[in-house]
Amino acid sequence: MNRLSLVDFPGKLCMNLIVPGCNYRCAFCPHEQLIHHHIPMPKIGVDEIVKLLRPRMGFLDGVSLDGGEPFLHRGLGSFLSEMRFQGIKVRIKTNASRPRAIQYVLDKRLVDYLSVFIPGPLSKYRDIVNYRVDPNDVRRSIQIVRKSNVPYEFRVKPVPGIVENEDILEIANTLSGSRRLVIERFDPTRVLDPMVCGSEVFSRSELEDIRDSASPYFGEVFLSS
Ligand code: SF4
Protein backbone atom coordinates (compact mmCIF):
# COMPACT_ATOMS: atom_id res chain seq x y z
CA MET A 1 0.00 0.00 0.00
CA ASN A 2 1.53 3.32 -0.89
CA ARG A 3 -0.02 6.74 -1.34
CA LEU A 4 -2.94 8.61 -2.78
CA SER A 5 -2.40 9.78 -6.33
CA LEU A 6 -4.12 12.14 -8.75
CA VAL A 7 -1.75 11.48 -11.65
CA ASP A 8 -1.46 7.67 -12.02
CA PHE A 9 -5.09 7.24 -13.08
CA PRO A 10 -5.81 10.39 -15.13
CA GLY A 11 -8.75 12.38 -13.78
CA LYS A 12 -9.23 10.03 -10.82
CA LEU A 13 -8.08 10.15 -7.21
CA CYS A 14 -6.85 6.68 -6.39
CA MET A 15 -5.04 4.66 -3.78
CA ASN A 16 -1.79 3.25 -5.12
CA LEU A 17 -1.22 -0.45 -4.35
CA ILE A 18 2.29 -1.72 -5.02
CA VAL A 19 2.50 -5.32 -6.19
CA PRO A 20 5.86 -7.05 -5.53
CA GLY A 21 7.81 -9.21 -7.98
CA CYS A 22 8.75 -8.66 -11.63
CA ASN A 23 10.03 -10.97 -14.36
CA TYR A 24 12.20 -8.19 -15.86
CA ARG A 25 15.46 -6.89 -14.42
CA CYS A 26 15.82 -3.39 -15.88
CA ALA A 27 19.09 -1.87 -14.61
CA PHE A 28 17.32 1.46 -13.97
CA CYS A 29 14.40 -0.09 -12.05
CA PRO A 30 13.60 2.03 -8.97
CA HIS A 31 12.06 -0.93 -7.10
CA GLU A 32 15.06 -2.97 -5.94
CA GLN A 33 13.26 -3.99 -2.73
CA LEU A 34 10.18 -5.13 -4.63
CA ILE A 35 12.22 -7.16 -7.09
CA HIS A 36 14.83 -8.81 -4.84
CA HIS A 37 13.42 -8.68 -1.32
CA HIS A 38 9.67 -9.16 -1.65
CA ILE A 39 9.37 -12.68 -0.20
CA PRO A 40 9.31 -11.58 3.48
CA MET A 41 7.00 -8.61 2.79
CA PRO A 42 3.66 -8.83 4.59
CA LYS A 43 0.73 -9.94 2.43
CA ILE A 44 -2.49 -7.90 2.50
CA GLY A 45 -5.69 -9.80 1.72
CA VAL A 46 -8.47 -8.51 -0.55
CA ASP A 47 -10.81 -8.21 2.46
CA GLU A 48 -8.34 -5.94 4.22
CA ILE A 49 -7.99 -3.75 1.14
CA VAL A 50 -11.77 -3.49 0.77
CA LYS A 51 -12.04 -2.61 4.46
CA LEU A 52 -9.50 0.17 3.99
CA LEU A 53 -11.11 1.47 0.82
CA ARG A 54 -14.77 1.40 1.80
CA PRO A 55 -14.80 4.38 4.20
CA ARG A 56 -12.78 6.37 1.65
CA MET A 57 -14.98 5.69 -1.35
CA GLY A 58 -16.77 9.02 -0.89
CA PHE A 59 -13.68 10.82 -2.16
CA LEU A 60 -11.61 8.04 -3.78
CA ASP A 61 -12.37 6.96 -7.34
CA GLY A 62 -10.41 3.73 -7.31
CA VAL A 63 -7.12 1.92 -6.97
CA SER A 64 -3.97 1.86 -9.05
CA LEU A 65 -1.97 -1.38 -9.18
CA ASP A 66 1.68 -0.67 -9.76
CA GLY A 67 4.68 -2.95 -9.59
CA GLY A 68 6.53 -5.02 -10.08
CA GLU A 69 4.32 -6.76 -12.59
CA PRO A 70 0.71 -7.26 -11.42
CA PHE A 71 -0.06 -9.78 -14.19
CA LEU A 72 2.37 -12.31 -12.68
CA HIS A 73 0.01 -12.85 -9.75
CA ARG A 74 -2.44 -15.74 -9.93
CA GLY A 75 -4.86 -14.01 -7.56
CA LEU A 76 -5.19 -10.95 -9.79
CA GLY A 77 -8.43 -12.08 -11.47
CA SER A 78 -10.26 -12.68 -8.19
CA PHE A 79 -8.90 -9.41 -6.76
CA LEU A 80 -10.21 -7.50 -9.78
CA SER A 81 -13.58 -9.28 -9.61
CA GLU A 82 -13.91 -8.20 -5.98
CA MET A 83 -13.05 -4.60 -6.94
CA ARG A 84 -15.79 -4.74 -9.60
CA PHE A 85 -18.26 -6.16 -7.11
CA GLN A 86 -17.43 -3.30 -4.70
CA GLY A 87 -17.75 -0.69 -7.47
CA ILE A 88 -14.07 0.29 -7.23
CA LYS A 89 -12.37 1.36 -10.46
CA VAL A 90 -8.93 -0.11 -11.26
CA ARG A 91 -5.90 1.13 -13.16
CA ILE A 92 -3.12 -1.43 -13.82
CA LYS A 93 0.45 -0.66 -14.79
CA THR A 94 2.06 -3.54 -16.71
CA ASN A 95 5.32 -4.34 -18.49
CA ALA A 96 3.44 -5.93 -21.44
CA SER A 97 5.01 -9.38 -21.06
CA ARG A 98 1.70 -11.24 -20.53
CA PRO A 99 -0.64 -10.62 -23.47
CA ARG A 100 -3.04 -13.47 -22.58
CA ALA A 101 -3.51 -12.13 -19.05
CA ILE A 102 -4.13 -8.62 -20.41
CA GLN A 103 -6.66 -9.99 -22.91
CA TYR A 104 -8.40 -11.93 -20.12
CA VAL A 105 -8.98 -8.90 -17.86
CA LEU A 106 -10.16 -6.87 -20.86
CA ASP A 107 -12.56 -9.60 -22.00
CA LYS A 108 -13.97 -9.84 -18.48
CA ARG A 109 -14.17 -6.02 -18.22
CA LEU A 110 -12.16 -6.04 -15.00
CA VAL A 111 -9.93 -3.03 -15.68
CA ASP A 112 -10.69 0.67 -16.27
CA TYR A 113 -7.30 2.02 -17.33
CA LEU A 114 -4.12 0.38 -18.60
CA SER A 115 -0.70 1.92 -18.29
CA VAL A 116 1.89 0.00 -20.32
CA PHE A 117 5.58 0.49 -19.60
CA ILE A 118 7.84 -0.13 -22.61
CA PRO A 119 11.38 -0.26 -21.16
CA GLY A 120 13.18 -0.15 -24.52
CA PRO A 121 12.87 -0.52 -28.31
CA LEU A 122 11.98 -4.04 -29.45
CA SER A 123 15.35 -4.35 -31.22
CA LYS A 124 17.16 -4.03 -27.84
CA TYR A 125 14.37 -5.21 -25.60
CA ARG A 126 15.91 -8.37 -24.12
CA ASP A 127 19.20 -6.62 -23.37
CA ILE A 128 17.40 -3.81 -21.56
CA VAL A 129 15.02 -5.95 -19.50
CA ASN A 130 17.60 -8.71 -18.90
CA TYR A 131 14.99 -11.40 -19.46
CA ARG A 132 14.30 -13.81 -22.32
CA VAL A 133 10.92 -12.30 -23.13
CA ASP A 134 9.52 -13.01 -26.58
CA PRO A 135 9.27 -9.59 -28.32
CA ASN A 136 6.18 -10.96 -30.11
CA ASP A 137 4.44 -11.15 -26.73
CA VAL A 138 5.19 -7.46 -26.20
CA ARG A 139 3.93 -6.67 -29.73
CA ARG A 140 0.77 -8.67 -29.03
CA SER A 141 0.18 -6.82 -25.74
CA ILE A 142 0.56 -3.49 -27.53
CA GLN A 143 -1.99 -4.55 -30.18
CA ILE A 144 -4.45 -5.81 -27.58
CA VAL A 145 -4.27 -2.61 -25.53
CA ARG A 146 -4.60 -0.35 -28.57
CA LYS A 147 -7.59 -2.28 -29.91
CA SER A 148 -9.45 -2.32 -26.60
CA ASN A 149 -12.12 0.18 -25.60
CA VAL A 150 -10.36 0.79 -22.29
CA PRO A 151 -8.41 4.07 -21.94
CA TYR A 152 -4.66 3.47 -21.97
CA GLU A 153 -1.27 5.10 -22.05
CA PHE A 154 2.25 3.95 -22.83
CA ARG A 155 5.21 4.88 -20.64
CA VAL A 156 8.92 5.14 -21.40
CA LYS A 157 11.98 6.13 -19.38
CA PRO A 158 14.96 7.75 -21.13
CA VAL A 159 18.21 6.79 -19.38
CA PRO A 160 21.58 8.03 -20.72
CA GLY A 161 23.65 5.15 -22.08
CA ILE A 162 20.74 2.67 -21.90
CA VAL A 163 17.59 4.22 -23.40
CA GLU A 164 18.70 7.10 -25.59
CA ASN A 165 16.71 9.65 -27.60
CA GLU A 166 16.89 7.45 -30.74
CA ASP A 167 15.58 4.49 -28.72
CA ILE A 168 12.57 6.56 -27.64
CA LEU A 169 11.99 7.43 -31.29
CA GLU A 170 12.10 3.74 -32.24
CA ILE A 171 9.56 2.99 -29.50
CA ALA A 172 7.43 5.93 -30.71
CA ASN A 173 7.53 4.50 -34.22
CA THR A 174 6.37 1.09 -32.93
CA LEU A 175 3.53 2.77 -30.99
CA SER A 176 2.68 5.28 -33.70
CA GLY A 177 -0.96 6.39 -33.62
CA SER A 178 -1.44 5.62 -29.93
CA ARG A 179 -3.33 8.11 -27.83
CA ARG A 180 -0.95 8.99 -25.02
CA LEU A 181 2.73 8.69 -24.07
CA VAL A 182 4.14 9.53 -20.64
CA ILE A 183 7.90 10.07 -20.35
CA GLU A 184 9.08 9.03 -16.90
CA ARG A 185 12.11 10.50 -15.17
CA PHE A 186 15.10 8.36 -14.30
CA ASP A 187 16.21 8.61 -10.67
CA PRO A 188 19.90 7.55 -10.45
CA THR A 189 19.67 7.24 -6.65
CA ARG A 190 17.12 4.38 -6.82
CA VAL A 191 18.29 1.64 -9.18
CA LEU A 192 18.43 -2.13 -9.39
CA ASP A 193 21.94 -2.33 -10.86
CA PRO A 194 24.65 -0.63 -8.74
CA MET A 195 26.57 0.02 -11.99
CA VAL A 196 24.05 2.72 -12.97
CA CYS A 197 23.76 4.22 -9.48
CA GLY A 198 24.65 7.91 -9.60
CA SER A 199 24.92 7.92 -13.40
CA GLU A 200 23.97 10.91 -15.53
CA VAL A 201 20.39 11.99 -16.16
CA PHE A 202 18.86 13.83 -19.09
CA SER A 203 18.36 17.53 -18.32
CA ARG A 204 14.90 19.11 -18.40
CA SER A 205 15.60 20.64 -21.81
CA GLU A 206 16.88 17.30 -23.20
CA LEU A 207 13.70 15.61 -21.95
CA GLU A 208 11.63 18.37 -23.58
CA ASP A 209 13.47 17.71 -26.85
CA ILE A 210 12.67 13.98 -26.51
CA ARG A 211 9.03 14.87 -25.81
CA ASP A 212 8.88 17.13 -28.86
CA SER A 213 10.42 14.55 -31.17
CA ALA A 214 7.96 11.86 -29.94
CA SER A 215 4.92 14.18 -30.16
CA PRO A 216 4.04 13.59 -33.85
CA TYR A 217 3.52 9.87 -33.12
CA PHE A 218 0.91 10.27 -30.33
CA GLY A 219 -2.29 12.08 -29.51
CA GLU A 220 -0.53 13.61 -26.50
CA VAL A 221 2.87 13.33 -24.85
CA PHE A 222 3.67 14.31 -21.25
CA LEU A 223 6.76 14.52 -19.11
CA SER A 224 5.98 13.04 -15.70
CA SER A 225 6.56 15.46 -12.82
S1 SF4 B 1 9.51 -3.64 -15.74
FE2 SF4 B 1 9.35 -2.02 -14.16
S3 SF4 B 1 9.23 -3.10 -12.21
FE4 SF4 B 1 9.99 -4.59 -13.72
S5 SF4 B 1 12.24 -4.48 -13.56
FE6 SF4 B 1 11.62 -3.05 -15.21
S7 SF4 B 1 11.39 -1.05 -14.19
FE8 SF4 B 1 11.39 -2.64 -12.56
Q: Which pTM does this prediction carry?
A: 0.93
Pocket of ligand 1 (CB under 6 A): 22, 24-26, 29, 31, 35, 67-69, 95, 117, 119
Q: How many domains does the chain have?
A: 1
Residues 24-64 have pLDDT tens digits of 999 999 988 877 776 666 778 888 888 888 888 888 889 99
The answer to whether residue 123 scores a pLDDT higher than 80 is yes
> Smallest Cα–Cα separation from 145: which of 43, 71, 37?
71
Which residue lies with its CA nearest to atom 8 of ligand 1? 29
Enclosing domain of residue 110: 4-223
Q: How many A from CA of 29 to the centre of ligand 1?
A: 5
How far is residue 182 CA from its own chain's centroid?
A: 10
At 202, which CATH number? 3.20.20.70
- Local confidence band at 94 (pLDDT 50, 70, 90 cut-offs): very high
Residue predicted with more confidence, 131 or 8: 131
The answer to whether residue 1 scores a pLDDT higher than 60 is no
- Local confidence band at 205 (pLDDT 50, 70, 90 cut-offs): very high
What angle separates helix 76-85 from helix 46-53, to the nearest 10 degrees? 30
Residues 132 and 192: their CA atoms lie apart, in Å, by 18
pLDDT at 131: 94
pLDDT at 45: 84
The answer to whether residue 2 scores a pLDDT higher than 60 is no
Contact indicator for 183, 223 with CB cutoff of 8 Å:
yes
- Local confidence band at 3 (pLDDT 50, 70, 90 cut-offs): low
